[in-house]
Amino acid sequence: MTTKQFSWIPVTEDVEAEAGVQAAYDVLRREDGSVHNLYRAFAHFPAPVVAADRFYRDVMHTPESPLPLWLAELLSVDVAILNGCTYAQTHHAANFVHLFGDDAVAGRMVEALERGDLEAVEFDRKTRSLLEFGRKLTRFPDSMDSADIERLRRAGLNDAEISQAVQVTASFAYWTRFINAMGIDIAGEKVGKYG
């Protein structure tokens, strides 16, 4: 029996060979056939992860989404930074850089988030407003009020974009806690969706 160590709860080949786990893996597989370590870490109870992954894909990877895909990724990167989740930050920063299309500017934007500098020249008013909103929701969820929504509208966001921003931010609060609680490590897996 081989134990795979990519989280604080080890997964054995016996567990991964179970029919229910394999069925979950079949749903969770990436385009290259691999399964993220964060999903494999939950092989002992995989059913909720399948539902969570469907929600994640709908929020983050739907081409018809209200926000540009790069902006949803940037919001997720900021939540990962705020919550100290290297795994999510690494994966989603790679996605953001790829989708943004200008590696140098995208790299400076991620560095600005790491410094907490939302006044960086690359952030336009709409992007900065979304990041400020996401930071407040991540750090102080009990202090959210209608004025936060109105600020986003004044910055040029419509209600569909605001709804997606809330879903991205809230779902990454879940994912980063999920990852940090289990000590999940990249441990050699392919970084990002597009790498």
Tell me: do 127 and 173 sit in the same domain: yes
Q: Which helix (H) or strand (E) is 3 found in, with range?
A: strand 3-4
The dihedral over CA atoms of 88, 178, 142, 135, expressed in degrees to the nearest 10, equals -10
82 plus 52 within the same structural domain: no
46-80 pLDDT, tens digit each: 899 999 999 999 999 988 999 999 999 999 999 99
Q: How far is CA 109 from CA 98, 124, 156, in A?
A: 13, 11, 20
Within-domain flag for 46: yes
Which residues sit opposite 4 in a β-bridge?
11
Q: In whole angstroms, what separates CA 52 from the centre of its chain?
A: 12
| pLDDT tens, position by position, 118-166 | 987 789 999 999 999 999 999 999 999 999 999 999 999 999 999 999 9
Residues 78 and 8 occupy one common structural domain? no
Q: Which residues are bridge partners to 3 per DSSP?
A: 12
Based on the fold, state whether residues 106 and 137 are members of the same structural domain: yes
Q: 134 and 40, same structural domain?
A: no
